[in-house]
């Protein structure tokens, strides 16, 4: 319960400098990452970062601070957590 209040009070900030350095505040955890995509769970929903040569430089889940570098092509939000909200059985029974 206290954790939920902390997340609601924490600011969500996205800063992209020259499409090369990405700083995000309000990151809960990293779902998946490779050189071409980083999938993050944030206070504002799931975020996908697409690009080339992406590398995570800093990650502090306690404060929600995240820094990555590389060539960023796209940032997008979604509401669902990939692979978490629907398991195989849920999809089969639809």
Q: What pLDDT is stored for residue 44 in this prediction?
A: 93
pLDDT tens string 44-54? 999 999 999 99
Q: Could you tell me if residue 26 is left (phi over 0), alpha (psi between -120 and 50 degrees) or otherwise beta?
A: left
Q: In whole angstroms, give the CA distance from residue 47 to residue 29.
A: 11
Q: Is residue 27 within 8 Å of 57, Cβ to Cβ? A: no
- 3 state SS of 84: coil
Residue numbers of the domain that contains 23: 2-92
Residues in the chain: 94
Question: How many structural domains compose the chain?
Answer: 1
- 3 state SS of 61: coil
Q: What pLDDT is stored for residue 81 in this prediction?
A: 53
- Domain holding 8: CATH number? 2.60.40.2000
């Amino acid at each position: 319960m206290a954790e939920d209040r902390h997340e609601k009070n924490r600011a969500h900030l996205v800063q992209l400098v020259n499409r090369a350095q990405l700083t995000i505040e309000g990151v809960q955890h990293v779902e998946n990452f490779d050189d071409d995509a980083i999938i993050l769970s944030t206070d504002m929903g799931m975020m996908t970062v697409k690009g080339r040569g992406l590398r995570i430089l800093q990650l502090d889940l306690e404060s929600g601070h995240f820094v990555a570098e590389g060539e960023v092509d796209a940032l997008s939000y979604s509401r669902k957590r990939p692979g978490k909200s629907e398991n195989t059985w849920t999809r089969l029974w639809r």
